[in-house]
Amino acid sequence: MKAQRGASYWGIMVGIMLAVVVIKAALIIWPAYWDNRLINASIEEKLRSSTSSDPAKFVQDLEQQFSLNNLRDLKAKDIMKVSNSGGELVVQLDYEVRKNFMGNVDLVMSFEKQFDQRAIKAGAK
């Protein structure tokens, strides 16, 4: 008698369920990482082009940029600290995004980065 080969019904069902969970997680995580990429690009561009060393003006300009990029869930003043260090701006970005996954299970994505205007302007030359 030959042994049966191939995937069983339950094996296929488990594979489909795992694929659904992975796809759902990717669809939940992707927007947060995309927004983080937009935030980082906006900060770098504003630091590169900014002539003012006023932190309040910088945050206000970023709020406008966030609005243009359709980043409505995040406010610049809530996710970053902007300080003036030696006439140059330093931005400390630190925030987390919490998204519901299934039931009472949440996915938490934490983003942290520091931007130094002096280093960004030196890298652009």
Segments making up each domain of the chain, as ranges: 32-124
So what's the pLDDT on residue 114?
96
Q: Which residues pair with 115 in a beta bridge?
A: 91
pLDDT tens across 26-62, in order? 999 999 999 999 999 999 999 998 878 889 999 999 9
So what's the pLDDT on residue 94?
96
CA atoms within 13 A on the CB side of 66: 20
- Supply the pTM of this predicted model: 0.82
Residue partners of 86: CB distance under 8 A and separation at least 6: 118
- For 123, the enclosing helix (H) or strand (E) is helix 117-124
So what's the pLDDT on residue 18?
97
What are the Cα distances from residue 60, in Å, to 6, 22, 75, 96, 106?
61, 38, 10, 21, 31
In what order do the strands lie in the sheet containing 88-102? 80-85, 88-102, 105-116
So what's the pLDDT on residue 15?
95
Rounded CA separation 119/107 (Å): 33
Could you say which residues of the chain have pLDDT below 50? none
DSSP string for residues in 13-44? HHHHHHHHHHHHHHHHHHHHHHHHHHHHHHHH
